[in-house]
Structure 1
Amino acid sequence: MVEGSASTATEPPPPRPSGPHGGGADPERRHRSRAGTAGSALVGAAVVAVLAGPWLERHFGLPAFGAWRTLLVAIVMQGVPFLVLGTIVSAAIGAFVPDRVFSRILPRNPVLAVPVAGAAGVVLPGCECASVPVAGSLMRRGVAPAAALTFLLAAPAVNPVVLVATAIAFPGKPEMVAARFGASLVTSVVMGWLWIRWGREEWLRLPTGPGHVRHALGVGRTEAFRRGLQHDFLQAGGFLVVGAMAAATFNVLVPPSVLEAFSGSPWLGVLVAAALAVLLSVCSEADAFVASSFTGFSPTARLAFMVVGPMVDMKLIALQSGAFGRAFAVRFCAGTFVVAVPCSVLVGSVLL
């Protein structure tokens, strides 16, 4: 498992030229090129689908496609501002922040670094779309994967913007805000510790894109920032579109009556609400308002919706697959779901 502290991280040597004349593209450049092409293609496909929507509805009588198109745009528009924020922070970390900063902030022992990273999630006012590129940039700068992954889970769930939104959505219920903060933080820290104990290096494809581009290619800080921003945004933007398409498809195909059948059961209600959080893929700044509308569900079930959503949803699964590999995303997202549900039930039984 790769759990080295930031103090032991070293910069990779400059890539050696390849090709008959020493000018061939290195693997890092090829990786960035493939990521950018795939991301651009996915974004382009979404734009075509949105623009072609009215024509398809007119000529083929597809009202459901109109609803799907509206939901797709809504989900993407929710996520893009925070995705931009995350990619800016990610690129800035890679270009301007020295490795020694992290060695001073985080304890060398990964077990101790995990709760510190979870608490640091309070300072990033973004949603889950922002946390993925930032976590990738932290790993590129030598932060232990367990600590970076803890930050990835905590940041979109415990930051002040989300907590204020929760307080507004549940007026007069400060216990719901406290329960969301507590259950989310506990889930993040537990997942970080579980990664230390059972995570494997081969599951996690460590980001190797623009994080060291300044050192590897000999460019300035501003150019490294530009390349990092371009790489992260195109790659993450494409997978955001994939997740948004999946969430919009579920919203269109599954009628509300199917969900109401399970809301009356305390245990089934919690599981259904958690599954809804994954499938609906609502931004963490807005999911409290959706949860408050689930009047047929118990308070604990609504808490589970708000805890699971920022950590495991369709667009986040797609983003993690693009950033860290499919093998990692499947295992980590499944594990997070399994941990988040009982943490929600435990905290909800105490505070709600």
Structure 2
Amino acid sequence: MATTDTSASPARRINSMHVFALLLVCAIVFRDQLVTAVNSFPELRTGATIFLGVFVQATPFLVLGVLVSGAIAAFVSPRVLKRLLPADEKAAVGVSSLAGMALPGCECGAVPVSSRLMDQGAPTSAALAFLLSAPAINPVVLVSTAVAFPGEPRMVLARFLASLATALVMGWLWARIGRAEWITKKFADHSHDSSRSKWEVFTESARHDLMQAGAFLVLGAGAAALLHIVVPDSILEHLAGQMLLAILVMAVLAVVLALCSEADAFVAASMSMLPLLPRLVFLVVGPAVDVKLMAMQAGSFGRGFVARFAPVTFVVAVACATSVGLLVLGAR
């Protein structure tokens, strides 16, 4: 009687790397047709130029960020951060907020790190402050902002101060009114699983972050190009004359686009028709609260947490960005 072989290896799953490779091959094979189609329409040619400009400028910072993020996942344990935190909770919020400067990476990588901090006994308020500061004030993000806004060093300073203020305010708010029961679940992160080598952790983390962040970079560059094609200059000029409306529109756009913090400065810089202040709001709100970040937080901490944390973070980020922007940038 024939028996069924149950030892056969499972079918391979198609992942984001396969899709990316397929699209890249298609672009190479049909290059001539694509170039002809783009050159046939001036609008498409303009959009392609803007897309490539944003993408090419942002890619080096994105790659650097994911490499450092992968190294942190493999070689840096949250136990090190926890040992550095003061016993006083309010002081711990301040230290963890500033610690974000030393750990480059996008907001996607900050979620598991903050979760591990909580698991190892760090105050929840300090872990959440780190969650908000790490993707917004680290050196990679600040340097990318300086490159995206040449001749505007105050933009870098304003982004640093507003993002740090957002992390501090949210951390101190949680220390005062936060409740442990609002966090209903946490996922188990295996970055430091002893069964995996550090090199395996590094390569897997870097590959995952690159594909995820790269997808959002493509989305952001495409959105910037689409805005220049679809939205007439007259509308942007009108929006530029309505500062409050421009701030609200850019804040909502930051939530919806869900860009990586290592590349969002180049998208904001492409919107040159708008004053600096609304674009600063875009840069501060994005790493603090957007749709992909809310989805990750829901998976890590529960939907009830997101329902309370995200709306307050949005209001605090807009308020901090606007206040700091008016002080540092003026009405620009």
Match of 2:318 in 1: 341
Match of 2:5 in 1: none
Change (3 A) 1:136 1:84: farther
Match of 1:256 in 2: 231
Contact 1:269 1:301 in 2 (8 A): yes
Match of 2:296 in 1: 320
Following superposition of structure 1 onto structure 2, how do residues 149-164 of structure 1 map, counting pairs within 5 Å? 149-164=128-143
Which ranges of structure 2 fall in alignment gaps of 5 or more residues?
A: 1-11, 39-43
Following superposition of structure 1 onto structure 2, how do residues 256-335 of structure 1 map, counting pairs within 5 Å? 256-257=231-232, 259-280=236-257, 283-313=260-290, 317=293, 320=296, 324=300, 327=303, 332-335=309-312
Shift of 1:281: 5.1
Change (3 A) 1:111 1:80: same
Shift of 1:202: 5.6
Among residues 67, 92, 96, which one is paired with 1:84 in the alignment? Answer: 67
Match of 1:240 in 2: 213
Following superposition of structure 1 onto structure 2, how do residues 12-51 of structure 1 map, counting pairs within 5 Å? 41-51=15-25
Amino acid at match of 1:206: K
SS class of match (1:188): helix
- Give the whole-Å Cα distance in 1 for the aligned partners of 2:139 and 2:197: 30
Segment of structure 1 superposing worse, 110-119 or 128-137: 128-137
Deviations 1:14-33 (A, max 9, x none): xxxxxxxxxxxxxxxxxxxx
Contact 2:114 2:131 in 1 (8 A): yes
SS class of match (1:213): coil
- Give the whole-Å Cα distance in 1 for the aligned partners of 2:200 and 2:225: 38
Shift of 1:188: 1.0
Shift of 1:340: 0.8
Change (3 A) 1:140 1:80: farther
- Give the whole-Å Cα distance in 2 for the aligned partners of 1:44 and 1:234: 12
Work out whether 1:93 is the aligned partner of 2:68. Answer: no
Match of 2:190 in 1: 210
Shift of 1:343: 1.0
Among residues 137, 154, 170, which one is paired with 1:191 in the alignment? Answer: 170
Name the % identity.
35
- Give the whole-Å Cα distance in 1 for the aligned partners of 2:55 and 2:150: 27
Deviations 1:198-245 (A, max 9, x none): 35556464241315633xxxx5xxx45345446644654564366456
- Give the whole-Å Cα distance in 2 for the aligned partners of 1:330 and 1:229: 33
Change (3 A) 1:207 1:232: farther
Shift of 1:284: 3.9
Deviations 1:28-60 (A, max 9, x none): xxxxxxxxx98x72333333334334668959x
- Give the whole-Å Cα distance in 1 for the aligned partners of 2:138 and 2:293: 21
- Give the whole-Å Cα distance in 2 for the aligned partners of 1:129 and 1:305: 18
Shift of 1:189: 1.3
Deviations 1:235-279 (A, max 9, x none): 545643664565466446552326554222010111222234345
- Give the whole-Å Cα distance in 1 for the aligned partners of 2:315 and 2:162: 13
SS class of match (2:76): helix
SS class of match (1:210): coil
Change (3 A) 1:282 1:110: same
| TM-score normalised by the chain length of structure 2 | 0.69
- Give the whole-Å Cα distance in 2 for the aligned partners of 1:69 and 1:48: 20
Following superposition of structure 1 onto structure 2, how do residues 60-75 of structure 1 map, counting pairs within 5 Å? none
Deviations 1:295-343 (A, max 9, x none): 43233212212222333456x5278359726735676444432221111
Amino acid at match of 2:281: A
Match of 1:52 in 2: 26
Shift of 1:114: 1.2
- Give the whole-Å Cα distance in 2 for the aligned partners of 1:238 and 1:283: 11
> How many residues in Structure 1 have an aligned counterpart in Structure 2?
301
| TM-score normalised by the chain length of structure 1 | 0.66
